[in-house]
Structure 1
Amino acid sequence: MKWRSQTLLVAGRQRRALETFDEMLALWPDDAYALASRAHVLAQSGQADAAMADFRRLIDVQPEHAHAWFNLGFLLEQQDSLDEAEHAFRNALHLEPKLDRAWYGLGLTLIRQHRYDEAVAALKRNTELQPMSPHGWYQLARVHVDRQQPEEAVKIIRHLQGFEPKVAAQLERETGLLGSPAGGH
C-alpha cells in the first residue's frame, strides 16, 4: 500500500492516494507514514482542517515527531492561530533544534504578534542554519525596518546582493533603502 500510494502521488493522482491512505489507516490507525502523508496531501489540496487533524493525531501517536509539530505550526500560522502556532513551532524546535524551517515559522509568527525582538532571534537562527536561503534574510530585514533600524536592513540588503540580487532589489524597492555600496541611508 505504501508503494502504491507513492506511485499514485508521483503520477499526480492525489485523490486515489488519499483513498489508499484511508485504507491504510483503516487497517493501522496509528500508522505514522499514512497519517503524515495524508495530512500533506490534504494540506496541499486546501483542506487545512483535515490536515491539522491528521497532524494532531500523528503527534498524539508520536509526540517526538518534530516535523509533524512543524507542519501543524505552519498550518496554524496560516489560519491566524498564532499562539497555537508558536507552541507547535517551539515543540518542533525543542525536539529538533536545527530544524531551520521551524525557526523561520516561529519568526513569522512572532512578527505577526509584534514581538520583534524575539522574531529577530528566531530569524537569525534560521539564517545561521540556512545562510543561502533568502527567506529568513528578507524577513529579518523587514523586522529591522519595523524596529526603526534601517542600518541593519541595509547590511542585509548588501549581503543579499552577493547571492540573491533580485531579493535585495525587492527589499530596496519596498523599504526605500539603498543597499548599494555607494549609497545608503
Structure 2
Amino acid sequence: MLVIKRLWSTGYNAMAEDAMPEDDVWLEEGIALRRTGRYSQAAEALEKAIAINPGNAAAWRNHAWALCQMDRDEEALASLDKAIALEPMSARTWILRGFALHRLGRYEKAVESYARAIEINPLGPDGRRAWNNRGAALDNLRRHEEAIESYDEALLIDPFDVYAWNNRGVSLAILGRQEEASRCFEKAIEIEPEYATAWRNLGLAYQALHRDTEAEAAFARARELGLE
C-alpha cells in the first residue's frame, strides 16, 4: 500500500535499469527501502529522484511517506503539498496528507484532506481508507455520530474491514451505546480472531454491560495476544 532489501536484488536486471529514467530508478529504490522499514535511506533515495526530476509526483509522495514513518510530519506535509501541486487528483496523496495532519493534531484540516480524497475516489481501497480515516479524525473532534457515518461508508466498500468495525465500536461506546459497540468488536474479532485491540475493547464494552465473566475472558485473550 516486503521483504525486498534493495532494488538491485529484486529482480531488476541491468537492461531494465538502463531502460528506466534515472529518477524512476531512485524512486523504485526508495519504495523498496521504505517497504523494508529503512526509512532514512528511503528518504535519501527519494531526494535523489526529486533532485533529478522535481516534477516526479510519486517521488514527492513516497518521500512524505518515509518522513511520516520517522515522525517528521511537518516535513512530510511540505512534500505532500509538492505532490498535490503536480498531481491534484491523486486520492492517495490526499489521504496521506490527512494522515500527517491527523498525527499533528490538526483534525479539522485532516477531515478536509480526507474529504477531498473521497471526492476524487469514493470507492475502492483508497475510498475505504479515506472514509475510515475521516471517521477517526471526526472522533478526535468529538463528532462521533458523523464518525459512525464515515465508518459505515467504509464498511459498505469493504464489510471485512476490521479497523472500521473496531473504530465504529469505539464511537458507539463513547456515546454509551455499549450493546451496539460490543457487536462491532465481535464482528472485528470474527473477521480477525487475533486482533488484540478489538479483544480489549470488547472487554471494556462487556464490563460496561456488567458481563464481567465475558469481560475478563476478553481481557485475558487480549493479554495472550500481547496487549497489556
Residue by residue over 1:36-89, the C-alpha shift from the partner in whole angstroms, topping out at 9 and shown as x without a partner, is 121112222222111111111111222111111100001101110011101100
Residue 167 (structure 2) pairs with residue 162 (structure 1):
no
**Shift in CA distance, 57/120, structure 1 to aligned 2, threshold 3 Å:** same
Give the aligned partner of residue 54 of structure 1. Answer: 79
Equivalent positions of 1:6-21 (< 5 A) are 6-7=28-29, 9-10=31-32, 14-21=39-46
Residue 114 (structure 2) pairs with residue 84 (structure 1):
no
Gaps of 5+ in 2: 1-21, 215-228
Gaps of 5+ in 1: 181-185
Residue 126 (structure 2) pairs with residue 104 (structure 1):
no
Q: Provide the C-alpha distance between the structure 2 equivalents of 1:46 and 1:76, rounded to a whole number of angstroms.
A: 12
2:69 to 40, 44, 57: 44
Amino acid at match of 1:88: S
SS in 1 for 2:191: coil
Taking structure 2 as the reference length, what is the TM-score of the superposition? 0.70
**Shift in CA distance, 58/166, structure 1 to aligned 2, threshold 3 Å:** same
**Shift in CA distance, 102/165, structure 1 to aligned 2, threshold 3 Å:** same
SS in 2 for 1:63: coil
Q: Provide the C-alpha distance between the structure 1 equivalents of 2:84 and 2:199, rounded to a whole number of angstroms.
A: 41
Amino acid at match of 1:23: K
Shift of residue 165, structure 1, vs aligned partner? 3.6
Amino acid at match of 1:153: A
Q: Provide the C-alpha distance between the structure 1 equivalents of 2:192 and 2:39, rounded to a whole number of angstroms.
A: 34
Residue 25 (structure 2) pairs with residue 3 (structure 1):
yes
Amino acid at match of 1:120: I
Q: Is 14-23 or 128-137 further displaced after alignment? A: 14-23
1:171 to 192, 201, 216: 201
What RMSD, in angstroms, separates the aligned Cα atoms of the two structures?
A: 2.2
Shift of residue 95, structure 1, vs aligned partner? 0.3
Q: Provide the C-alpha distance between the structure 1 equivalents of 2:188 and 2:44, rounded to a whole number of angstroms.
A: 44
Report how many aligned residue pairs link the two structures.
179
**Shift in CA distance, 83/157, structure 1 to aligned 2, threshold 3 Å:** closer
Give the aligned partner of residue 71 of structure 1. Answer: 96
**Shift in CA distance, 142/68, structure 1 to aligned 2, threshold 3 Å:** same
Q: Provide the C-alpha distance between the structure 2 equivalents of 1:16 and 1:164, rounded to a whole number of angstroms.
A: 33
Q: Is 69-78 or 38-47 further displaced after alignment? A: 38-47
Structure 2 contact 31–62 (Cα < 8 Å) conserved: no
**Shift in CA distance, 144/20, structure 1 to aligned 2, threshold 3 Å:** closer
**Shift in CA distance, 8/59, structure 1 to aligned 2, threshold 3 Å:** closer
SS in 1 for 2:89: coil
Q: Provide the C-alpha distance between the structure 1 equivalents of 2:30 and 2:101, rounded to a whole number of angstroms.
A: 28
% identical equivalent positions: 22
Q: Provide the C-alpha distance between the structure 2 equivalents of 1:7 and 1:134, rounded to a whole number of angstroms.
A: 32
**Shift in CA distance, 96/113, structure 1 to aligned 2, threshold 3 Å:** same
